[in-house]
Amino acid sequence: MNQTDKHSFGYPYGLKEESIPLEARIVTIADIYDALRSQRPYKPAFEHEKAFRIITEGDGRSMPQHFDPQVLQTFKTVASKIEEIYEKNK
């Protein structure tokens, strides 16, 4: 494994579940939350409550089982803090 490969994960390397670095599992939820909260040419920015609901309940494209269960539980626990940080830094 070369230096680049050492820092890659998931697709295309076939890593799953706990073999994916914890940092990557955390960033997955953070990235989706940010994408949902941000305006895009094809959608408006969603409020925190809607983004939270999509991540925790699913919407047909994003489903809770797509996330590490422990990271998802932590997201639920600290969601109000995440909203506060997002609002402060947008």
Name the strand (E) or helix (H) holding 66: none
Q: Where do the domains of the chain lie?
A: 17-89
Per-residue pLDDT tens listing for the chain (90 residues): 334 444 445 556 677 777 788 998 999 999 999 999 999 999 999 999 999 999 999 998 989 998 999 999 999 999 999 999 999 998
Q: Which residue has the tokens 């697709």?
A: 11
Phi/psi class of residue 39: alpha, beta or left (left: φ > 0; alpha: ψ in -120 to 50)? beta
The neighbouring-strand residues paired with 40 are 43
